[in-house]
Each structure stands twice: as structure tokens, then as C-alpha cells.
């Protein structure tokens, strides 16, 4: 007599259904944290445990090297009762989408307003779990090696469609052309800000994109460019 496979727990069924529903709505797989939040699991290790069990059962395939690297198998699609004809296309889409996702570290806040002291002259201190996932098709050359993200605080760049709470994706660089929107560090005052950059010889003009605010003029030797804005991710919540 064949050993019958142990039924899935309600939690595991919920995880499978959530992964499928999330993909239907977002065209990409969820993160471990999103799975935990949706299934009332506070520990990522418990989420991982259940994902491992589902993988062992042949219901999930996982790629540890890819952000959002989880996908439903055809067996899983049958388990949650989806239409058979959609299985191959859906699974293929999940694989392709996950493979094209890249992770960009979210390193902190940047002030779009008057410069404020932030306590050090670099952004490179952050929780490794703080990151955003983007399609490689959105990125220059499809690479994220020299990119980082910052959350904007302030309204000095609102006419450039950069609002308070938005996230700017930056390319790490130490030079800028006139008109570039950049993150700059002002050495003499230990402050940082997000502005348009204009080199005017012995001084640099940091220009806001808000008609109610005046430009900031600083000595050219006082400015350290940290990165150039490549894209803006709108805060819609």
C-alpha cells in the first residue's frame, strides 16, 4: 500500500494562495517579508521553514541568488485549483520576472530642502534588509552594481516631480554636469542635500526646483558629489 502524502497545513495553503494572488496582481513574486505579513507570520525564519517544506513537496521552486526568487510549480497550480491551461504560461512568467529583478540598497534619507546635519559624510550604513526590488529593464544597462536608493524628505524639488516621501535611485559618482540632480555633501557644515548642480567657477550653485526657495551658493571646494538621480519612484500611499 502506498504511503499517502501528508496534507498541507492551512498555513502552507495560505502561503501558496498568497503567492499566486500576489503574482496575478503585481506580475512578480512576493518577498519573504511580504509573505510573512500576509500570512501573519512575524518571523522570516518561520516563513523560510514553510517555503522549504513546500519546496520539498515539489510545490515551489526557489532561487536563493535572485531577489523574489520563488515560483509556483505546475503541481502547486493544480493544488490551488487554477485552470490547467494557464499553468505553463503563468509559471514561465514568474520565472522570467524573478530572473529580471535586481535589488538596490535603500541607504537612508536625503533632504530636499535646506541642508541638515546627518552625522557623517557617507550614506553607506544601512540594514541589509532595507532594499527595493526593480526590474532590470528599468536600469541603465540592466545593472545595479553602482546604484543605491534614498528616501526624500522635503519639498524643494517638487517642480522636478520629486515629492516628500518619494524614493530616488542614484548612480554613485563623484562628478556632475550642470543641470544634474545630485546628492551633495557640504564638507564645511557636515550637511547633505538634494539639488540641481551648477558649477559657476569658484562657487557651486545648488538650485532647488521650488519657486518659493532660494538657491544655495557654496565654495566649489566645499562640495562633494555623492550620486546622480537616475529615476524617481513615486510614493502613492
Pairing, β 70-72 against β 167-172: unpaired
Contacts of 21 (CB under 8 A, 6+ apart): none
pLDDT at 84: 36
Reduced to 3 states (helix: H, G, I; strand: E, B; else coil), residue 227 is strand
Q: Is the pTM of this model over 0.75?
A: no
Span(s) in the chain for CATH 1.10.10.10 = 10-99
CA–CA distance, 195 with 179 (Å, rounded to integer)? 9
Active-site residue 153, yes or no? no
Per-residue pLDDT of the chain (237 residues; tens, 9 = 90+): 445 677 888 888 889 888 888 876 776 788 888 888 888 888 888 988 898 899 898 888 887 666 677 887 777 776 666 433 444 444 455 445 444 667 788 887 887 765 544 444 445 444 555 777 776 666 665 566 788 888 898 888 988 888 888 888 888 899 999 999 999 988 887 788 899 999 998 999 999 988 899 999 999 999 999 899 988 887 654
**Known active-site residue 67:** no
Q: Which of 67, 144, 156, 228 is catalytic?
A: 156
Q: What is the CA radius of gyration of the chain?
A: 23
Third-level CATH fold of 10-99: Arc Repressor Mutant, subunit A (1.10.10)
Question: pLDDT at position 141, please?
Answer: 59
Please say whether the dihedral angle defined by the alpha carbons of residues 87, 90, 91 and 92, taken in this order, is positive or negative: positive
pLDDT at 117: 44
Q: For CATH 2.10.109.10, list the domain ranges present in the chain.
A: 102-233
Residues 228 and 181 sit within 8 Å (Cβ to Cβ): yes
Catalytic residue among 9, 144, 177, 195: 195
In this prediction, residue 10 carries a pLDDT of 86
In CATH terms, the fold of domain 102-233 is Umud Fragment, subunit A (2.10.109)
Q: What is the pLDDT of residue 83?
A: 39
What pLDDT score does 218 carry? Answer: 93
Amino acid at each position: 500500500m502506498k504511503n499517502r502524502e501528508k496534507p498541507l497545513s492551512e498555513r502552507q495553503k495560505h502561503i501558496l494562495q498568497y503567492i499566486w494572488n500576489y503574482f496575478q496582481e503585481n506580475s512578480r513574486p512576493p518577498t519573504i517579508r511580504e509573505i510573512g505579513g500576509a500570512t501573519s507570520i512575524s518571523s522570516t525564519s518561520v516563513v523560510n521553514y514553510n517555503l522549504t517544506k513546500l519546496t520539498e513537496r515539489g510545490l515551489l521552486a526557489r532561487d536563493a541568488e535572485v531577489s523574489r526568487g520563488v515560483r509556483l510549480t505546475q503541481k502547486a497550480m493544480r493544488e490551488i485549483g487554477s485552470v490547467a491551461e494557464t499553468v505553463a504560461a503563468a509559471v514561465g512568467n514568474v520565472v522570467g520576472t524573478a530572473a529580471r529583478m535586481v535589488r538596490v540598497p535603500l541607504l537612508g534619507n536625503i533632504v530636499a530642502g535646506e541642508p541638515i546635519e546627518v552625522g557623517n559624510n557617507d550614506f553607506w550604513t544601512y540594514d541589509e534588509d532595507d532594499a527595493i526590488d526593480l526590474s532590470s529593464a528599468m536600469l541603465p544597462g540592466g545593472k545595479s552594481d553602482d546604484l543605491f536608493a534614498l528616501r526624500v524628505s522635503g519639498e524643494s524639488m517638487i517642480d522636478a516631480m520629486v515629492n516628500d516621501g518619494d524614493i530616488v535611485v542614484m548612480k554613485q559618482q563623484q562628478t556632475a554636469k550642470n543641470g544634474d540632480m545630485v546628492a551633495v555633501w557640504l564638507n564645511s557644515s557636515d550637511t547633505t542635500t538634494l539639488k540641481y548642480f551648477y558649477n559657476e567657477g569658484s562657487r557651486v550653485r545648488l538650485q532647488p526646483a521650488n519657486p518659493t526657495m532660494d538657491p544655495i551658493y557654496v565654495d566649489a571646494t566645499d562640495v562633494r558629489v555623492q550620486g546622480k538621480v537616475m529615476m524617481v519612484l513615486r510614493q502613492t500611499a
